[in-house]
Amino acid sequence: MTTAEKTLNAQEHALHLLQQMLRIRRFEEKCAELYQATKIRGFLHLYIGEEAVATGVMEALQPDDAVVATYREHGHALLRGVSAEAIMAEMYGKQEGCSRGRGGSMHLFDKASRFYGGNAIVGGGLPLAVGLALADKLRGLKRVTACFFGEGAVAEGEFHESMNLAALWNLPVLFCCENTLYAMGTALARSESETNLTIKAASYEMPAWSVDGMDVLAVEEAAARAVAAIRAGGGPYFLEFRTYRFRAHSMFDPELYRSKEEVASWKERDPIELFSENLRGRGLLSDEDLVRLEQFAAEEVARAVDFAEAGSLEPLEELSRFVYSD
Amino acid sequence: MSVKSATMLKTTYREAVREAIRDAMRRDDRVFLMGEDVGKYGGCYAVSLGLLEEFGPERIRDTPLSEAAFVGAGIGAALGGMRPIVEVMTVNFSLLALDQIVNTAATILHMSGGQFNVPLVIRMATGAGRQLAAQHSHSLEGWYAHIPGIKVLAPATLEDARGMLWAAIEDPDPVLIFEHAMLYGQEGELAEDVAAVDIDKAVIRRAGSDVSLITYGGTFYKTMQAAAELAKDGIEAEVIDLRSLRPLDNGTILDSVRRTHRAVIIDEGWRSGSLAAEVSARITEGAFYELDAPVARVCSAEVPMPYAKHLEEAAIPQLPGIVAAAREVLGTHV
Ligand SMILES: Cc1ncc(C[n+]2csc(CCOP(=O)(O)OP(=O)(O)O)c2C)c(N)n1
């Protein structure tokens, strides 16, 4: 490959990463708006500020790998290939939604992309991820299961039991801890005697690294290294991504527990801004590029809203479906 | 409720629970509140808002996300001489602490031959109605009512929200209090100076002679509305608010049915194996020959709670269904 080709490849890839982060950001800004307009109901947890994490990790995964996420999972679903239309329709409670309107924002599921939810019990997804990985191992499949969770989950027994089991049985799980420093209103230092999360993971005898979750390149690199090690049979891997949620925990949070100054200082490290500036500085991002990326994201959001608006409600006669298999 | 003063205050169910906690904290320094986000965040349903400032972090104690550990610690602290109030955000999350509640709190008095009682109160939100889907909306209090060794309360009115807590704290054994999430915003008036209420008797909230509507918690107001609806056609329904799901007040239920000869039970739990099933069984055991019609039940559809609004509404008991069930047992349906 010539130097010029390499630069071109690098630029294409960089713009792709930026595009992915923008897709999440614009999609969720629309969600917030639609929540105010009462189109979306229930709990809505936004990922705004944390986009670099899902973006970087998803780059490292193959299409047949599995993902387990939490209630803050719109971005993860979107980048795994669940269509914006299906996600938006889900939040509208329409039967064209990715969970037929049964799940809502917190319970996005998609079999085709091996997206296993959407779990709103903190820590509840970890044992599931361990089981998916166990099945792959037993079936001799070289697949990886990526499991996302917040640092709040680290206090749950299910976290510790899952870490132990995954390590004990040498299972192909990538544990992705999104450390936003607060679990709802509880700061990490007010909930953990040991706030160094990698030490906990390491105590289960698995590789554990802390990564700047605002730097999409750092996330991508760390995730790629981890996935390669897992796929090579090295067993589970733990990555802590240090990040921050810019918005309230959910739409019902007066944010009494953190200062405006703190939020503002983290916003200075907005992953999208940081990366854009980085690219501009290196001459890899022009104004026209940005307009194009923004337009793509805007069109995707507009399509999603149109699709959700046009969707239909599941007939009431079907209420008791999906309790058992047909 | 015994009223000591005539001054009535406008308040809400949420504020009534908060006032009950505040009152208990002031009365007894062994009392403390612990749970996730009860302090700095102000409580996930804003029940404990402001209490941290008043009582400090020792007594308004934020816990990590560790339901098994902090509920278990509540049991231990109760054994150790304190009077903890443990808040679990939602009944679905209490399942992570089920082991501690069922295998320890409920059994230790018995296992120890009567030596160790557990004076613990566990409060949690329950129920559907806010489109929170299948991991935040269930009504599992009927399950807990299955367990000997614990008491299970379901305050529906402001008086009970205010008055039951102190009675529960004074109880020597573990008491679970279920607060239906849709009730927190309920407004009403409450006497400024209130005494504790009893926690083992059902209450007849509306007297009537034609049919007994038996309910509790989140379906209470819907049932009162149904009674008002029926009254327009000259049907006088008696409404029983169970209040305590364990123990169940057989006397009040059976006396009522002996007078009305008809019963409808309204319960947001699923029908199969429900609290409604238990009440129905007790009526057939205790008043079978007094019945003029089979006992009817209005329960939730047997499906995990769906997110979509129209499906959620269809899944849980609603006014028209209650009215129709009452007409059915009266043979006056059209
Ligand atoms: C078992 C359980 N307990 C409590 C909750 C309520 N709850 C929902 S999110 C949350 C905070 C979780 O924080 P964290 O794990 O750091 O994830 P984040 O929300 O920051 O992404 C809490 C307490 C829950 N959903 N499940």
**Closest by Cα among A203, A210, A219 to A168:** A203
For B304, residues 6+ apart whose C-beta sits below 8 A from its C-beta are A102, A323, B134, B138
pLDDT for the residue numbered A9: 86
Domains by residue range for chain A, with CATH: 21-311 (3.40.50.970)
**Partner residue facing B133 (CB), from A103, A124, A190:** A103
DSSP SS3 for B120 = coil
Alpha-carbon torsion (B65, B52, B157, B182), positive or negative: negative
B60, B48 Cβ separation under 8 angstroms: yes
Rounded (5°) CA angle A186-B43-A183: 25
B210 in the same domain as B185? no
A293, A71 Cβ separation under 8 angstroms: no
Atom 8 in ligand 1: residue holding the nearest Cα: A122
**Partner residue facing B311 (CB), from A90, A253, A314:** A314
Residue A149 burial (C-beta neighbours within 10 Å; 0-12, 13-18, 19+):
buried
* Inside any domain, residue B3: no
User: What residues of A are in contact with residue B65 (Cβ under 8 Å)?
Assistant: 122-123, 152-153, 155-156, 183, 186, 191
Separation between Cα atoms, residue A241 and residue A210, nearest integer Å: 6
B159 in the same domain as B46? yes
Which of B191, B218, B250 lies at the terminal end of a domain, its last residue?
B191
User: What residues of A are in contact with residue B308 (Cβ under 8 Å)?
Assistant: 93-94, 101-102, 104, 313-314
Two structure tokens written together for A69: 């996420």
For B11, residues 6+ apart whose C-beta sits below 8 A from its C-beta are B19, B158, B187, B188, B189, B190
**B110 is annotated as an active-site residue:** no
B46 in the same domain as B154? yes
B98, B47 Cβ separation under 8 angstroms: no
pLDDT for the residue numbered B5: 58
B24 in the same domain as B141? yes
Type of residue numbered A57: V
> Which CATH number covers residue B273?
3.40.50.920
Separation between Cα atoms, residue A307 and residue A94, nearest integer Å: 10
DSSP SS3 for A305 = helix
Separation between Cα atoms, residue A67 and residue A61, nearest integer Å: 9
Strand pairing report for B237-241 and B203-206: antiparallel
| Parts of chain A with a pLDDT under 50 | none
> Is A101 an 8 Å CB contact of chain B?
yes
DSSP SS3 for B251 = helix
Q: Exactly one of B87, B136, B138, B312 is catalytic; name it.
A: B136
User: What residues of A are in contact with residue B307 (Cβ under 8 Å)?
Assistant: 42, 90, 93, 99, 101-104, 107
**Closest by Cα among B200, B158, B155 to B180:** B155
> Which CATH number covers residue B153?
3.40.50.970
Contact assignment for A93 to B63 by CB distance below 8 Å:
no
Which residue range(s) make up the domain with B32?
8-191
pLDDT for the residue numbered B333: 56
From the CB of residue B182, how many other CB atoms can be counted at a distance below 10 Å?
21
B157 in the same domain as B19? yes
B39 in the same domain as B13? yes
B207 in the same domain as B138? no
Distances (CA, A) of A303 to A299, A307, B85, B195: 6, 6, 50, 59
pLDDT for the residue numbered B2: 47
Question: Quick check: pTM over 0.80?
Answer: yes
The answer to whether the CB of A183 is under 6 A from ligand 1 is yes
Two structure tokens written together for B113: 């031959």
**B136 is annotated as an active-site residue:** yes
Which of B167, B191, B215 lies at the terminal end of a domain, its last residue?
B191
* Inside any domain, residue B62: yes
The answer to whether the CB of A147 is under 6 A from ligand 1 is no
Distances (CA, A) of A43 to A32, A71, A104, B265: 11, 9, 9, 31
B164 in the same domain as B224? no
Q: State residue B205 phi and psi, 5-degree precision.
A: -90, -20
B213 in the same domain as B152? no
- Structural domain count, chain B: 2
B271 in the same domain as B222? yes
Two structure tokens written together for A281: 């500085």
B104 secondary structure, DSSP code: I
B95 in the same domain as B27? yes
End-to-end C-alpha distance for chain B, whole angstroms: 40
Ligand 1: centre distance to CA A184 (Å): 6
From the CB of residue A202, how many other CB atoms can be counted at a distance below 10 Å?
14
Strand pairing report for B121-126 and B83-90: parallel
**Closest by Cα among A43, A163, A66, A78 to A116:** A66
Contact assignment for B314 to A101 by CB distance below 8 Å:
no
Ligand 1: centre distance to CA A318 (Å): 31
The answer to whether the CB of A150 is under 6 A from ligand 1 is yes
Give the H/E segment covering residue B277: helix B275-287
Separation between Cα atoms, residue B132 and residue A145, nearest integer Å: 27
B331 secondary structure, DSSP code: T
Give the H/E segment covering residue A146: strand A145-150
Mean per-residue pLDDT pooled into runs of 10, chain B (334 residues):
69 98 98 97 96 98 98 97 98 98 98 97 98 98 98 98 97 98 97 84 98 98 98 98 98 98 98 98 98 98 98 98 98 68
* Inside any domain, residue B32: yes
From the CB of residue A231, how many other CB atoms can be counted at a distance below 10 Å?
15
B166 in the same domain as B41? yes
Type of residue numbered A235: G
The answer to whether the CB of A121 is under 6 A from ligand 1 is yes
**Partner residue facing A153 (CB), from B65, B310, B315:** B65
DSSP SS3 for B121 = strand
Tokens 């009950």, residue located: B20
> Is A253 an 8 Å CB contact of chain B?
yes
Which of B163, B191, B219 lies at the terminal end of a domain, its last residue?
B191
